Amino acid sequence: MRTADVVVLGGGLIGLAVAAEASHRGASVILVGEKRFGEASPAGAGMLAPGAESEDLPSSAVRDFAIGGRDLYPSFLRALYDETGIDVPFDRNGILELIADAEPARRPAGTEWIDGRALRELEPELGDFAGAILHPNDGAVDNLVLIVAMNRRVELRRSIEVIRSAIRSVNVTALRPRVILEDGDVLEGGALVVATGAWAAQLEGIPRPLPIRPARGQLIMLEGSLANHVIYGGGGYLVPRRYPDAPDPFERTIIGATMEDVGFDNSTTAEGLEALEAVARRICPASASASLVSHWAGLRPMTPDSLPILGADPDISNLLYACGHGRNGILLAPITGQAIGALAVGELSDYELSPFSITRFA
């Protein structure tokens, strides 16, 4: 049997963030991170869009948490660079939310209306839109480089042991939770954190149902940079990616994303490709001549209300949930790490987590 102060289940961005925060607060940590096809963390486009998607956030507490997650990124990435030497590309030029017809009568505070003429000057390749709302603090992060950096950080921490293994079951009835791995090995921790993404509901031994289901999202990458900003609208989004430091600098554009209820099938489809190419043409007609670089899919861990499940189990205080982040796992990874990492070591969280409690599904 191996023991630690905290055992974290899940090797995606959420699990990595929680493990690093618990370690930072002085705990010994075992991180169990099985590689799964269709994981959401590497599949996303890296959008940080609580402003552009504010209408989808149901309360001020939820909006504050999402905006806090976005605004934590600059300091989070600086600390990550100081520890690993990996500079994660970070775009905070704002997100342009396209408006088809006319300037909205109401728009969120802190945003700017860009009329059609000014929009064409900013983004000459866009289609014919009345204008756009600029969300100046939104943006995007390169999630693939972010994953590399966050893995490197936990590898450098002597207080974190990483185990790449499937999980057979958990036992949370004892004083200290236990995890039984597929090979029969047993782990024991003072606290147990469930951060297994779309697969959280399949974890045997959890004391209550976790209403998390996978939702497939397909994305494509096109040759070249079709815009200067992250673009939101036209039935999807467009995220430019630039690699100026590569030996042969290049640019790409990500177009996303579908939302499909197909279980744990993370394959791509001709229908998905057609839908994404149509989104690209609506946003940017010039995309019709851009070469397709890649087409992939990931499985978002969705809850019925599209909000994550965060915090302690109401009956088992040392069982913590950090799962069900849906489309916002990248946005919320650093702030979830801070919130759940604190709880895992017996400290108070700096954040209001009651809107995300598992008890809302009782």
> What's 50's DSSP letter?
T
For 230-257, what is each residue's pLDDT tens digit?
999 989 999 999 988 778 888 999 999 9
Is the Cβ–Cβ distance between 164 and 152 less than 8 Å? no
Fold of 95-136+214-302: D-Amino Acid Oxidase; Chain A, domain 2 (3.30.9)
Alpha-helical regions (H) of 50-158: 60-84, 116-122, 143-156
pLDDT at residue number 34 = 86
Query: What percent of the chain is predicted at pLDDT more than 70?
Result: 100
For 277-296, what is each residue's pLDDT tens digit?
999 999 999 999 999 999 99
pLDDT at residue number 52 = 87
> What's 353's DSSP letter?
-
Q: Using CA atoms, how far apart are residues 78 and 65, in angstroms rounded to an integer?
A: 21
Domain boundaries, the chain: 2-79+144-212+304-361, 95-136+214-302
pLDDT, mean of residues 144-148: 97
For 53-108, what is each residue's pLDDT tens digit?
887 787 888 999 999 999 999 999 999 999 999 999 999 999 999 999 888 878 88
Is the Cβ–Cβ distance between 216 and 262 less than 8 Å? yes
CATH 3.50.50.60, domain 2-79+144-212+304-361, yes or no: yes
